[in-house]
């Protein structure tokens, strides 16, 4: 089984890299197998279809990102400082990707939402679950900040949704201009969206 | 020439509809010609390549949208009320699209940014010009609002960029959940991002 499991990992790794570079529709199973260095027969042993592979890639990517978000958002620091750290981690990840391959891949979930959600129902549902989870994690931190009197929003879930939308929108612009500098404004924009009582004090309190 | 021009329009119309539904990579020239009801030879008479067609579709779409934005943003109403109208028009357009085809296509420029900008330089440059123009148009209105004392931002261009990012992010979520209701928050989020002095008063002043 060692060798077989290895083939699955190779296919997943190649697919993830190719999807980040070129999206889903532009790829063929043959190309993915070639990049993974495995025979096409192996592909269909592990994955029923290209769509099943896309779902596996999405799951794997979210497992990694969810772990990172949980670590960042569950620390002992003040709620808003943890949220700030989330943006720093996002900017650093996009910057590292740009350094490695010359371009900014953006958010895989955002990319696949715009490319696939309208014609692949299983992918739409999975991506909805992921964005629901992201909004839920930020919502919990915003609710903590509200208890501390650091923010003034009334609907913490709607505010969390606005923060996620801002994140996706700014990452879209970062990808378009191949420039991560613009992501530096995420913190200030987040404070504005949350109606932070004293943005200056929170921002300089680090 | 009447008949020939007609073929060009048919190709453009079919390509726009197909790109909105399924993106760029998933399409082939043969499929576009079939949907347009024109022979493949006509395609290459008008367009050098599929990429050239994509650029023409983008230009045509922006010509329509730019006209609409200019109309909305150049009226006599107070600056922030014109901006509010822009969000209403956006929500109405997405809602109309959903009514016509069952799903929300989202923003063609956002869709193609995430799908194509990293591997088609000509498309990246064209989309950058369009987003520059969008930010510029909103920047001008925010600057007016600043003169009136309606907003408190210091960098009007950065604020306009945040508004465009919020718009793209919320349209992404609307597409994912196939629900335009979420776009209703754009106005409140815009006011927060602009540091509007009295959001309640502006919001209810309509």
Shared domain for A114 and A32, answered yes or no, is: no
Shared domain for A40 and A76, answered yes or no, is: no
A111 part of contact set with chain B, CB < 8 Å: yes
Q: Which residue has the higher pLDDT, A110 or A205?
A: A110
Tokens 């290895």 appear where? Answer: A6
Rounded CA gap, B144 and B74, in Å? 11
Residue B129, CA distances (Å) to B63, B118, B124, B135, B157 in order: 13, 16, 9, 10, 15
Rounded CA gap, B4 and B10, in Å? 10
Alpha-carbon torsion angle B88, B90, B92, B97, nearest 10: -170
Shared domain for B74 and B118, answered yes or no, is: yes
pLDDT score of B203: 46
Residue ranges in chain B assigned as alpha helix (H): 2-22, 29-36, 40-46, 50-73, 79-101, 108-116, 121-148, 156-177, 186-193, 199-204
Is the Cβ–Cβ distance between A157 and A131 less than 8 Å? no
Mean pLDDT, residues A35-64: 95
Percent of chain B with pLDDT over 90: 83
Tokens 């891949």 appear where? Answer: A105
pLDDT tier for residue B3 given thresholds of 50, 70 and 90: low
Is the Cβ–Cβ distance between A26 and B25 less than 8 Å? yes
pLDDT tier for residue B199 given thresholds of 50, 70 and 90: very low
Residue ranges in A47-120 assigned as alpha helix (H): 50-73, 79-101, 108-116
DSSP-assigned states of every residue in A10-61: HHHHHHHHHHHHH-STT--HHHHHHHHT--HHHHHHH-SSHHHHHHHHHHHH
Shared domain for A144 and A180, answered yes or no, is: yes
Shared domain for B154 and B132, answered yes or no, is: yes
pLDDT tens-digit map of A88-124? 999 999 999 999 989 999 999 999 999 999 989 999 9
What count of residues does chain B have?
Answer: 206
ipTM of the complex as predicted = 0.93
Q: Which residues in chain A are closer than 8 Å to B105, comparing Cβ atoms?
A: 118
SS3 B179: coil
Decide if A114 and B175 are in contact by the 8 Å CB cutoff. Answer: yes
Decide if B104 and A114 are in contact by the 8 Å CB cutoff. Answer: no
Decide if B166 and A165 are in contact by the 8 Å CB cutoff. Answer: yes
Rounded CA gap, B204 and B206, in Å? 5
Distance of CA B66 to the CA centre of its chain: 9
B22 part of contact set with chain A, CB < 8 Å: yes
Decide if B166 and A162 are in contact by the 8 Å CB cutoff. Answer: yes
The answer to whether residue A205 scores a pLDDT higher than 50 is: no
Task: Find the closest chain A residue to B184 by CA distance.
Answer: A158
Shared domain for A79 and A39, answered yes or no, is: no
pLDDT score of B128: 98
The answer to whether residue A200 scores a pLDDT higher than 60 is: no
Q: What is the CATH number of the domain that holds A76?
A: 1.10.357.10
Phi-psi region of B102 (alpha: psi -120 to 50; beta: other; left: phi over 0): left
pLDDT tens-digit map of B64-94? 999 999 999 998 899 999 999 999 999 999 9
Domain span at B28: 1-47
The answer to whether residue B131 scores a pLDDT higher than 90 is: yes
Shared domain for A17 and A59, answered yes or no, is: no
SS3 B27: coil
Shared domain for B176 and B78, answered yes or no, is: yes
Tokens 């009295």 appear where? Answer: B198
Distance of CA A203 to the CA centre of its chain: 24
Structural domain count of chain A: 2
Decide if A117 and B169 are in contact by the 8 Å CB cutoff. Answer: no
Shared domain for B58 and B43, answered yes or no, is: no
Is the Cβ–Cβ distance between B82 and B137 less than 8 Å? no
**Surface-to-core class of residue A49, CB atoms within 10 Å of its CB (0-12 exposed, 13-18 middle, 19+ buried):** exposed
Q: What is the CATH number of the domain that holds A13?
A: 1.10.10.60
End-to-end CA distance of chain A: 50
CA angle B110, A95, A84 (to 5 degrees): 85
Q: Which residues in chain A are closer than 8 Å to B177, comparing Cβ atoms?
A: 128
Rounded CA gap, B11 and B6, in Å? 9
Rounded CA gap, B110 and B117, in Å? 10
SS3 B112: helix
Cβ-based neighbours of B151, under 8 Å, separated by 6 or more? B80, B142, B145, B159, B194, B195, B196, B197
pTM above 0.95, yes or no: no
Distinct helix (H) and strand (E) counts, chain A: 10, 0
Tokens of B1: 């020439």
pLDDT tier for residue A3 given thresholds of 50, 70 and 90: low
Task: Find the closest chain B residue to A25 by CA distance.
Answer: B26
Shared domain for A194 and A138, answered yes or no, is: yes
Is the Cβ–Cβ distance between B204 and B177 less than 8 Å? no
Shared domain for B5 and B70, answered yes or no, is: no
Shared domain for B40 and B81, answered yes or no, is: no
Q: Which residues in chain B are closer than 8 Å to A129, comparing Cβ atoms?
A: none
What radius of gyration, in Å, describes the C-alpha atoms of chain B? 19
pLDDT tier for residue B148 given thresholds of 50, 70 and 90: very high
Average pLDDT of the residues of chain B: 91
């Amino acid at each position: 089984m060692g060798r077989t499991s290895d083939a699955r990992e190779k296919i997943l790794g190649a697919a993830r890299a190719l999807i980040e570079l070129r999206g889903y529709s532009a790829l063929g199973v043959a190309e993915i197998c070639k990049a993974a260095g495995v025979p096409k027969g192996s592909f269909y042993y592990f994955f029923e279809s290209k769509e099943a592979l896309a779902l596996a890639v999405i799951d794997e990517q979210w497992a990694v990102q969810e772990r990172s978000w949980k670590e960042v958002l569950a620390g002992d620091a003040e709620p808003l400082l943890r949220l700030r750290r989330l943006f720093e981690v996002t900017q650093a990840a996009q910057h590292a990707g740009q350094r490695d391959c010359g371009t900014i891949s953006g958010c895989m979930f955002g990319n696949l939402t715009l490319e696939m959600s309208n014609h692949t129902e299983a992918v739409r549902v999975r991506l909805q679950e992921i964005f629901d989870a992201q909004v839920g994690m930020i919502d919990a931190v915003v609710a903590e900040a509200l208890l501390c009197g650091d923010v003034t929003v009334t609907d913490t879930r709607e505010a969390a949704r606005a923060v996620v939308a801002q994140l996706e929108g700014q990452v879209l612009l970062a990808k378009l201009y191949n420039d991560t500098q613009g992501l530096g404004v995420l913190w200030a924009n987040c404070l504005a969206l949350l109606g932070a009582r004293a943005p200056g004090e929170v921002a300089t309190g680090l």
